Amino acid sequence: MAKKILAVDDDPDIVIFVKTVLEENGYIPLIAKNGEAGLAMARKEKPALIILDVLMPKQSGIRMYREIKSDASLKDIPVVILSGIAKRTFLRSQEALTEFGDESVPEPEAYIEKPAEPEELAEVIKKFIS
Amino acid sequence: MEKDTKTKKMLFVTQFEELWFDALQSLMDLRKSGFNHVVFLHVIERDKVAMRRGKGYLKDQEIKLREMANVRFIDWAEDLFVQGMEVGAYIVVGDILPKIISTAEEEGIDLIVTGRHRRPKLEELYAGSETLELLRRTSTPVLVHKYMLPSGKINEKPFERPLLALDWSPASGNAVRYLLGFKDIIKKVVVIHVAGEKTFKSDSAMEIQAIRKKNRQKLEEVCDAFRDVGIDTESHLYVGATCEQIEKAAQERGATMIVGGTTGKKSLKEIFLGNTAKKLAERSVFPTLLIPANIKHEAS
């Protein structure tokens, strides 16, 4: 049975790109346009993997990632960050939030800086979903 | 940094003309008052990508403008994210005012920060002032930010010494309550009331003195409200043309910002209304914080 993958991104062009890659590789894409909607969908659908942008309206990928990794029912879902924000910034931002008193969270399973090649994205996904 | 129970959101509207990252940095003090979430908004004006005869919709131009804004916002966001702040961004095509209003509503914004957006003279003649229109249509406080001081230096802490101009209207009361929410960053509030020359038309000196006394008492009551929450304050009574006197007071009292309530277009009797707000927002050298009469989000 095809596995569901949640893509959270506000850029319509990226959404089309990710959706196409997922469909061509036999996955069922679920789409959310911001972290708030993404988190709600993750809780409802329990996807096999989450592809997450960082700079988005309503709730950023930084906060959404933190929520996922702090939620017992979601924390084991692999997260691939797909963003224009540098990985170093993402990690430092998580460290800053931990310093301000939030729980520590692990590094994301994979980090791809935009733009991604379709093969690159497909390969990373396959690494986490057999 | 202390954790605030409610994170407040600032909408930072930039057309990359007046407001750049240093303007945003000058507002970082607001974090002490709970503003830990910044939402960027850049509106690509419709006429920049509109249909042209023989060319159709300028999709290439839209992509170019979007990506230019995106590069800037990513750079700015990285700076804020590593400080533990939350950041969001909108890059949209359309008319600036409706986009500011819809984004503020969608995000539940507590403070709109914008530059001086002026329509061309002719357009303003029939469409009115953009600043006034924004103030009429939003229930969110608006900071028309001018972060460069006349000296050429950056106004690094605009909330440090605000000048609060009061006309004793309900909108003025909103402005007082809103400023009280910034007690962690305000060092001193300069409270003023500008009495119009008409106020002194009586030929009785006693009557004029009574008016002066009454205004002084009201000013003192406002000062007490600030002192009660630990904000230092001073009050002054000015006489003359409202805008000119407010600007003069701000300069001679060393203010970092001008604050006032706005009444909307209907309450023509009130002093700090329409034209005054517009003039100060568009012409004053000081950042101008305008609190709408129907304010939804309070700082405190």
Indicate the range of B3-7, B78-82, B164-168, B258-262 predicted with least confidence: B3-7
Tokens of B217: 């008492």
The answer, for A81 touching chain B at a CB cutoff of 8 Å, is no
- Burial (CB < 10 A; 0-12, 13-18, 19+), residue B5, is exposed
Q: Given this model, what pLDDT does residue B271 score?
A: 44
Q: What is the pLDDT of residues A82-126, one digit of tens each?
A: 999 999 999 999 999 999 888 899 999 999 999 999 999 999 999
Tokens of A78: 């692999």
Query: If you average pLDDT over every residue of chain B, what do you get?
Result: 85
- Asked if A92 lies within 8 A of B82 by C-beta distance, the reply is yes
Q: Which residues are bridge partners to B45 per DSSP?
A: B94
How far apart, in whole angstroms, are the C-alpha atoms of residue A88 and residue A31? 26
- Asked if B107 lies within 8 A of A84 by C-beta distance, the reply is no
Listed by number, the residues of chain B in 35-64 with a beta carbon closer than 8 Å to a beta carbon of chain A are: 39
Q: pLDDT band for position B120 (50/70/90)?
A: low
Looking at the partner chain, which of B1, B3, B74 has a beta carbon nearest the beta carbon of A85? B74
Residue identified by tokens 């709730």 is A59
Q: Which residues contact A106 (CB under 8 A, 6 or more apart)?
A: A69
How far apart are the two ends of chain B, measured CA to CA in Å?
18
- Which CA distances in Å does B96 have to A124, B93, B99, B114, B266? 40, 9, 5, 11, 24
How far apart, in whole angstroms, are the C-alpha atoms of residue B168 and residue B154? 32
Q: Given this model, what pLDDT does residue B55 score?
A: 66
Q: pLDDT band for position B230 (50/70/90)?
A: very high
CB atoms closer than 10 angstroms to residue B152: 6
CB atoms closer than 10 angstroms to residue B128: 15
CB atoms closer than 10 angstroms to residue A98: 14
- Which CA distances in Å does B161 have to B39, B66, B246, B255, B259? 25, 37, 14, 5, 10
Query: pTM for the complete prediction?
Result: 0.90
Q: Given this model, what pLDDT does residue B270 score?
A: 41
Q: What is the pLDDT of residues B23-74, one digit of tens each?
A: 899 899 999 999 999 999 999 988 888 766 666 777 888 899 999 999 999 9
